Amino acid sequence: MIKEFLDYLQFERNYSPQTLESYGRDLEEFEQYFKNLEGHLSWDTVDEDVIRDWMSSMMDRGNTARSVNRRLSALRSLFRFAISHGLVEKDPAHLITGPKVDKPLPYFLREKDMDRLLDPQMWTDSYIDVLARTLIITFYETGVRLSELTGLDDDDVNFVNSNIKVTGKRNKQRIIPFGKELADTLHCYMERRDKEITRLTDGLFLNRKGRRVSNQQVRKLVEDNLAKVTTMKKRSPHVLRHTFATAMLNHNAELESVSRLLGHASIATTEIYTHTTFEQLKREYQSAHPRA
């Protein structure tokens, strides 16, 4: 049955040799599995329990959920073909749900790396360095998105109440508090900006031409400067947003509060950071405990 299915994929569906090889390997593995079970099973007598046990055995051997789902997809395709061509009487695979694929944990910087990066001695006195350091501190202290940061105007910063007003997704606005370090940094940046730059916009963060910094310019500044303290491949502004959320939770902030600060529509979106903090805790335990 496998050969007929692969011939169909090759000659009627024009599947690539690599896909055919992958399908064949996965299906032959399943066939070998059920033939080794008691009861002398065949393709006609395979049922849902056999498929579920096969999937469990793969997970027990260390296969990822993504790998198991790929093999289940090949099996579903085979049974659909077999039903349509009268090779079997029932399809036990179509109601089987594959294992849930975990979302990858967000990248974030450790606090000691952020402390090192924001050390004034790491920076020159050039306007671009002053701008870049201010951008990074703003990301780290407020957790704003890239588009929210580049959209800020001077009027969005309230130094009296120590907060900024940002416009997020679907034009929803929220107020985010900030601390003394960011207040001092913004004051110094704005004083330097107003001395050196001829303004062409009300934007808070300006490039040397007096225009609002673009998303691309901010990404480049952040990526270049994060490279000073981390070898992570991802060094985007979003990493700093993740770093903000992780730092807040590591210092006992409530999940709902962090969710509101980030502008998440649902607290479920924020829960990914609880997994991040647990993974960090687990790594520290494994490196510190003598019997871990």
Catalytic hit among 145, 193, 235, 242:
145
Please state, in angstroms and as integers, the Cα–Cα distance from residue 74 to each residue in 3, 48, 136, following that order. Answer: 13, 15, 46
Task: Tell me how far the alpha carbon of residue 252 is from its chain's centroid.
Answer: 22
Catalytic, 238? Answer: yes
Q: Which of 212, 235, 241, 242 is catalytic?
A: 241
Residue 195 appears among annotated catalytic residues: no
Say how far apart CA 263 and CA 265 lie, in whole Å: 6
Annotation marks residue 251 as catalytic: no
Enclosing H/E stretch for 177 = strand 173-177
- Strand order of the β-sheet with 173-177 is 157-158, 163-167, 173-177
Active-site residue, 242 included: no
DSSP H or E stretch at residue 264 = none
Identify the active-site residue in 85, 169, 275, 283. 169
Whether the CB-CB separation of 186 and 134 falls below 8 Å is answered with: yes
Q: Confirm whether 193 is a catalytic residue.
A: no
- Of the residues 90, 174, 211, 238, only one is catalytic, namely 238
Residue type at 223? E
241 is catalytic: yes
Q: How many CB atoms lie within 10 A of CB 106?
A: 17
- Asked if 58 contacts 68 with a C-beta cutoff of 8 angstroms, the reply is yes
* Catalytically active residues, by annotation: 145, 169, 238, 241, 264, 273
